[in-house]
Amino acid sequence: MVSLAARTRLAARRSTTVILFTMCLGVFIAQLDSQVVNLAIKHIGSDLNAGISQLQWVMDSYNLFYATLLLTGGTLGDLYGRVRIFAIGIGLIVLGSIVCAVASDAMVLIGGRALTGIGSALEVPTSLAILTVTYADAKQRASAIGIWAGCNGLALAVGPTIGGLLVDAAGWRSIFALVVPVSVAAMALAIKAVPESSDPKGRRLDPAGQTFAIAALAALSFVTIEGPHWGFTAPTILVLAAVFVVASALFVYGARGRKDALVPLDVFSQREFSAALAVAGMMTFGMYAMLFLTPLYLQSLGGASPSPSASNCCRCR
């Protein structure tokens, strides 16, 4: 007969396994959503009569809000409950994916992508925080976080394949429809199986820093995307370039000497951190440029199909 202590340990192990699975599903959804769109770009452009700059915004509206709100998402989880913020983030991903799936023009699609970016910024950091408080043992925690991080790489590997197969089989809208049932399952699991946690002590929001960060990055994105089309000396481009400079300066000024700033500036005094951040930044810029341009080039000029097959490879030669 199994002892009560053994049954308790087994139940606890099952509970943490479900939590780990749910959090991994959440981060997989966020990364999958950013990857499956790449191979559908040409089809989206043709169907919605979208130009190259609009297609860039389809990609970058997600990345812009995801990047600028990521730190705030973690703070919101600490203040108001990690499971609550995780579920809200997943809900926004569902809503944004539905908007994308039924989009009638490029602007609606861009708006849907922005919603999914906001949702991902809420659920990704809270999923990591939930794992941190779930696994008290350092070794188990490290293993769980390793599995969680591995799901990022898994989404990067399988996302383009899934996206390509879906686009060929059911059209580009299916890549957004796919996210909906998976996200609903993750939300249901989180609400049912994950205990709520928070840690508001010493934590507070930085609305001014967040506002300046969004303004600076949005202005920079607009200048780099629309500059080649409008001309870098166009009045609107020049004004937005000035907005980027001023917002960046205000962001840095507001963060000076503050431990609770959105990005505490003292972290950059660590040379290892700054060097790693610079390398990661260059890698990310290069990676997302290739993810956007390579499929578009191969499909538009090489005659390739989104799905991976031998015939496609032959057609690209």
Q: What span, in angstroms and rounded, lies between the C-alpha atoms of 269 and 285?
A: 23
Token pair 């070794």 is found at 139
* Number of other CB atoms surrounding residue 230 within 10 Å: 15
pLDDT band at 316 (very low <50, low <70, confident <90, very high): very low
36 φ/ψ angles, rounded to the nearest 5 degrees: -70, -20
The CA–CA distances, whole Å, from 157 to 29, 67, 153, 176, 292 equal 13, 21, 6, 18, 15
Q: How much helix, strand and coil, in percent to the nearest 5, is found in the chain?
A: 80, 0, 20
Q: Which of 14-18, 71-75, 183-187, 311-315 has the lowest mean pLDDT?
A: 311-315
* Per-residue pLDDT tens digits for 125-165: 999 999 999 998 888 999 999 999 888 878 877 877 787 88
Q: Which class is 4-203 in CATH?
A: mainly alpha
- Do residues 156 and 28 lie in contact, with contact meaning Cβ atoms separated by under 8 Å? no
The residues, ordered by sequence, that sit 6+ positions from 137 with a Cβ below 8 Å of its Cβ are none
Q: What span, in angstroms and rounded, lies between the C-alpha atoms of 101 and 109?
A: 8
Q: What span, in angstroms and rounded, lies between the C-alpha atoms of 90 and 128?
A: 14
Which tokens belong to 260?
């609770």
DSSP label at residue 104: S
What pTM, to 2 d.p., does this model score? 0.81
* Per-residue pLDDT tens digits for 20-50: 999 999 999 988 877 778 778 888 988 999 8
Distance of CA 23 to the CA centre of its chain: 14
Q: Where are the domains of the chain?
A: 4-203
* Per-residue pLDDT tens digits for 247-298: 999 999 988 877 777 777 887 888 887 888 888 778 777 776 776 667 766 7
DSSP label at residue 70: H
Instruction: Tell which phi-psi region holds residue 254, choosing left (phi > 0), alpha (psi between -120 and 50) or beta.
Output: alpha
The three-state secondary structure class of 142 is helix
